[in-house]
């Protein structure tokens, strides 16, 4: 079983797409084990996006992610990291496949609605940045036997 961090970025919250985005991930079969509305401060944004430090879009990225409330969530399921990345679509909405969140709801790489961890190491690091252990709930979902065998 795998866990991954999802962020509905400030544009997703402002545009009223929280339910749509979470709904797509839920409908796919992934299970929420943590979720909250929060505002990311500069220091947290710098830690989360440390790998992008020095890139031309870095400052703009920090401005964007700290510009309003976000929803952070941890989703669980077999292969959750890859499943979320696929459901989100490519970083650049113009390159994302139709049917993905970024293709269906976004046009600009700087307003691409959603974040998902990209590897098991990143997922562990990012979940730890945004959630305390006691904010994550391990629970049995009765429908799981109809989603994976
Ligand atoms: P992803 O969010 O798909 O994991 P990433 O980790 O490469 O993509 O980059 C993080 C975010 O930074 C991305 O969601 C949007 C922004 N970004 C990436 N490349 C960019 C670029 N060339 N111009 C502007 N923003 C960019
Ligand atoms: Mg990334």
Every domain of the chain and the residues it spans: 2-140
- Across the range 100-128, mean pLDDT stands at 98
- Across the range 22-44, mean pLDDT stands at 98
Q: Which ligand is nearest to the CA of 7?
A: 1
Which residues form the pocket of ligand 1, taking CB atoms under 6 Å from any ligand atom? 52, 57, 61, 91, 109-110, 112, 115, 118
Band of pLDDT at residue 19, cut at 50, 70 and 90: very high
2-140 folds as: Alpha-Beta Plaits (3.30.70)
115 is annotated as an active-site residue: yes
> What percent of the chain stands above pLDDT 90?
99
Q: What is the pLDDT of residue 96?
A: 98
Looking at the predicted structure, is the pLDDT value of residue 101 above 90?
yes
Contact 85, 28 (CB under 8 A): no
- Across the range 44-56, mean pLDDT stands at 98
Looking at the predicted structure, is the pLDDT value of residue 70 above 90?
yes
Q: What is the pLDDT of residue 40?
A: 99
Q: Which ligand is nearest to the CA of 65?
A: 1
Q: What is the pLDDT of residue 9?
A: 99
Band of pLDDT at residue 149, cut at 50, 70 and 90: confident
Write down the catalytic residue from 21, 61, 115, 130.
Answer: 115
Q: What is the pLDDT of residue 67?
A: 98
- Across the range 144-148, mean pLDDT stands at 96
């Amino acid at each position: 079983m795998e866990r991954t961090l999802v962020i509905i970025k400030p544009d997703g919250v402002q545009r009223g797409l929280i339910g749509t985005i979470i709904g797509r991930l839920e409908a796919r079969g992934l299970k929420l084990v943590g979720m909250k509305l929060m505002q990311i401060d500069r220091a947290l944004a710098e830690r989360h996006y440390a790998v992008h430090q020095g890139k031309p879009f870095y400052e703009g990225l920090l401005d964007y992610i700290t510009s309003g409330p976000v929803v952070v969530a941890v989703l669980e399921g077999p292969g959750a990291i890859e499943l979320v990345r696929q459901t989100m679509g490519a970083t650049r909405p113009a390159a994302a496949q139709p049917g993905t969140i970024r293709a269906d709801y976004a046009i600009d790489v700087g307003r691409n609605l959603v974040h998902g961890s990209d590897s098991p190491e990143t997922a562990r690091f990012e979940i730890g940045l945004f959630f305390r252990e006691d904010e994550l709930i391990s629970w049995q979902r009765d429908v799981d036997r109809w989603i994976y065998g």
